[in-house]
Chain A
Amino acid sequence: MIVAVASSRDREAFARLFAHFAPRLKAFLMRSGADAVTAEDFAQEAMLIVWHKAAFYNPERAAASSWIFTIARNLRIDALRRNRLAFREPDPSELPDDPILPDAAFDESENARRVNEALSALPEEQRKVLQLSYFHDLAHGEISRRLGLPLGTVKSRLRLAVARLRETLGDMQ
């Protein structure tokens, strides 16, 4: 679909990507503590970058979701640096349970499927620490404070999660 956006500047393909990802990009930023208006603007800006950079997307290297994730991640770094985002403290009540939705299955690529499976197979405690570090932009110390866990425990859970992903990866090569 991104390939269609790139090669024929296909607005319909873009609209489908937008319908799937823009609401999730907004959710992504709200988890970092941005208000709804800022997050909405961020989602639009990220999708604008998707449009302009679609030609650089290589479907053999990355799933659509991971490519769009990296765009959003870099945009957030950029926005934080320029202080364009006024982040509020995330409300702790938002933290506990990110429901794990049944795989939205936007990506059909083999690698994406495997990583998805590996994520689903992670123990809840590891997945939670992983989610906090991806979406809440929290340093390890902060995660440990929020979850009331020793720093060493946070780090070791993250490492275990990464080790699991690394194994998956071994199979991919």
Chain B
Amino acid sequence: MTVRHLPSDDIMIAYATGVLTEAQALVIETHLALCPRSRSLVEALEHAGGALLDRLPPAALHTDALARTLARIDAVPGYGNAPMPDPEIAAFPEPLRRYQMTPWRTAGRGTQIRRVLTPEDGDHRVIMFKIDPGRKMPQHTHSGVELTCVISGSYSDESGRYGPGDFEEADSDISHRPVIDSDVPCICVVSLMGKVRLEGVVGRLLQPFVRL
């Protein structure tokens, strides 16, 4: 399985330097779990971060800083283990297993969605889609940036075909209508911000029901 659609360097730098929101970072991390090539780029960027950290002129600490930290070590028990997720979540790439999710709910024929419960952060949110083979998503545009990573199955839109591990970034310039072209349902994880606008008559009819 070769991942063909990779995130841009811009977004990889934003991830490595920590300026993405948690919702966006989660989609990138899902992609990283499935794509060794992007993983090694991030490793290099993190090496660079480490090397730059190493080169910073040290800032003097309080004389008792170490003692205080050691005291905190004694005071705080280790981090507990996260509760075991349900079996379906357990099969998702690791970054997704850290989160609670709402149950699947139907959003139109052949389409199920669930929220991945990332911490509240403005209007950023993460939604997982499970869409049956042959289904089309309504044509839609975005008022913010939409990041998608495919977990299983595949879809095609105006910009190409996307399979497991593939990453797509769409913004307000892009109006797309993905079609599921795998013979199994396509599961993908999407970070959204702002409003997603459905287009066309069907889309406008659906809009009140499919609050994404």
A interface footprint on B71-94 (CB within 8 Å = 1, 0 otherwise): 011001011000000000000000
Q: Which residues of A contact B25 (CB under 8 A)?
A: 77
The answer to whether A22 and B52 touch across the interface, beta carbons within 8 angstroms, is: no
Q: Which residues of A contact B13 (CB under 8 A)?
A: 133, 158, 162
A interface footprint on B31-55 (CB within 8 Å = 1, 0 otherwise): 0000000001101111111111111
- 8 Å CB interface, B3-34 against A: 9-10, 12-13, 16-19, 22, 25
The answer to whether A165 and B44 touch across the interface, beta carbons within 8 angstroms, is: yes
The answer to whether B47 and A112 touch across the interface, beta carbons within 8 angstroms, is: yes
- Chain-A contact segment, one of B62-70, B129-137, B140-148, B200-208: B62-70
The answer to whether A70 and B22 touch across the interface, beta carbons within 8 angstroms, is: no
| CA distance in complex: A7, B178 (Å) | 50
The answer to whether A81 and B119 touch across the interface, beta carbons within 8 angstroms, is: yes
Q: Is A74 an interface residue (CB 8 A)?
A: yes
Q: Is B58 an interface residue (CB 8 A)?
A: yes
| CA distance in complex: A47, B25 (Å) | 23
Q: Which residues of A contact B119 (CB under 8 A)?
A: 81
Q: Is A13 an interface residue (CB 8 A)?
A: no
| CA distance in complex: A107, B49 (Å) | 13
| CA distance in complex: A88, B61 (Å) | 20
Q: Is B173 an interface residue (CB 8 A)?
A: no
Q: Which residues of B contact A144 (CB under 8 A)?
A: none
- State the majority secondary structure of interface residues on A: helix
Which listed residue (A44, A104, A158) contacts B54, Cβ 8 A? A104
| CA distance in complex: A100, B58 (Å) | 12
CB distance from A130 to the nearest CB of B (A): 7
The answer to whether B78 and A23 touch across the interface, beta carbons within 8 angstroms, is: no
Which listed residue (B22, B44, B69) contacts A44, Cβ 8 A? B69
| CA distance in complex: A52, B46 (Å) | 21
List the interface of chain A (C-beta within 8 A of B): 11, 14-15, 18-19, 21-28, 30-31, 36, 39-40, 43-44, 47-48, 51-53, 61-70, 72-74, 76-77, 81, 98-101, 103-104, 106-107, 111-112, 115-116, 118-119, 130-131, 133-135, 137, 139-140, 155, 158-159, 162-163, 165-166, 168-169, 172-173
